[in-house]
Amino acid sequence: MAELAGYRRCYPGTQPAHLHPLYVSSVKRAPSEALVHLPHTISEVTGPCISSSRVDVKAFDLTRQHHGEPLGERIVVSGRVLDENGRPVPHALLEIWQANAAGRYLHKVDQHNAPLDPNFTGSGHTLTDGDGRYRFVTIRPGEYPWRNHYNAWRPAHIHFSLFGPAFATRLITQMYFPGDPLIPFDPIFNCTADEKARNRLISQFDWESTQPEHCLGYKFDIILSGRLATPWEK
């Protein structure tokens, strides 16, 4: 049987450490034994075939999922999904979830004392087009407190989940906003030792997708494997 070409592994330091004691939850989650290196087999280099059928506008426009408009600052988040060689990944499934403008998730576990928004659910999905491009319309999420340490606050962020062409290219990560003063203090952001790698999690303000009198645009390109891979959320 011919040898399968696997995906290139990530460079050391460019992905979050399993154990990062300042991120308190990582202490219990981190493996206590050395990891076993498994070769990529057909199970890893193949994956779900996502249909190229159209996605309903309500799925990628989170401001149109209810009768009224959600509170907060309307934004467009767009970019490209690329493989380890910089080639676009078409028909990749992206799913996002986020807090509302007040920093509250619509989830029973989230008991933060901030209001829910009846016009905002905070989740959506879309597919990349033939050039690997995607686009979401949403509102800028609020920062929220968490109990990792005294006076801990998460920077504003949007959670992303991607299915690339194979299970080896599966990615769950978070996108941050440029200039957020909380980023340097965030233990989750700081889990990735390599500064350039973790800075790839910060989106860029984008005039091209900013619309006059309507919304600001942010660009967030995602690389699914290899030397410049976007870091995982551990």
| Annotated catalytic residue within 74, 159, 198, 200 | 159
The residues facing 205 across adjacent strands are 218
d(CA 50, CA 93): 7
For the question of residue 66 being annotated catalytic, the response is no
d(CA 161, CA 179): 24
| Annotated catalytic residue within 154, 198, 200, 218 | 154
Instruction: Name the amino acid, one letter, at 80.
Output: R
For the question of residue 147 being annotated catalytic, the response is no
d(CA 111, CA 125): 25
| Annotated catalytic residue within 105, 134, 176, 218 | 105
| Annotated catalytic residue within 23, 134, 144, 218 | 144
d(CA 185, CA 164): 31
Asked if residue 108 lies in contact with residue 47, where contact means CB atoms within 8 angstroms, the answer is no
Asked if residue 15 lies in contact with residue 231, where contact means CB atoms within 8 angstroms, the answer is yes
Task: Please report, to the nearest 10 degrees, the dihedral formed by the alpha carbons of residues 125, 171, 133, 215 taken in order.
Answer: 60
For the question of residue 159 being annotated catalytic, the response is yes
- How many residues are given for the chain? 234
Strand segments (E) across the chain: 74-82, 93-97, 123-127, 133-139, 144-146, 152-154, 157-163, 171-176, 204-205, 216-219, 222-223
Catalytic positions are 105, 144, 154, 157, 159
